[in-house]
Amino acid sequence: MQPASKVYVAGHRGLVGSALLRRLHAGGYENIVTRTHAELDLIGQAAVDAFFARERPEYVLLAAAKVGGILANDTYRADFIYRNLMIGANVIHAAWRHGVRKLLFLGSSCIYPKLAPQPLKEEYLLTGPLEPTNEPYAVAKIAGIKMCAAYNRQYGTDFFSVMPTNLYGPGDNYDLESSHVLPALIRKMHEAKARGDREVTIWGTGTPRREFLYSDDLADACIFLLERYGAAEIGELINIGVGEDLTIHDLARLVGDVVGFRGEIVLDSSKPDGTPRKILDVTRLHRLGWKARTNLPEGIRRAYDDFLASHAGS
Annotated binding site for NADP(+), which residues?
A: 11-17, 106-109, 141, 164-167, 180
Distance CA 270, CA 259 (A): 26
Binding-site members are 11-17, 106-109, 141, 164-167, 180, 188, 203, 210, 273
Active-site entry in 29, 137, 214, 304? 137
Give catalytic status of residue 137 as yes or no: yes
- Residues in binding site for substrate: 188, 203, 210, 273
**Which residues are catalytic, by number?**
137
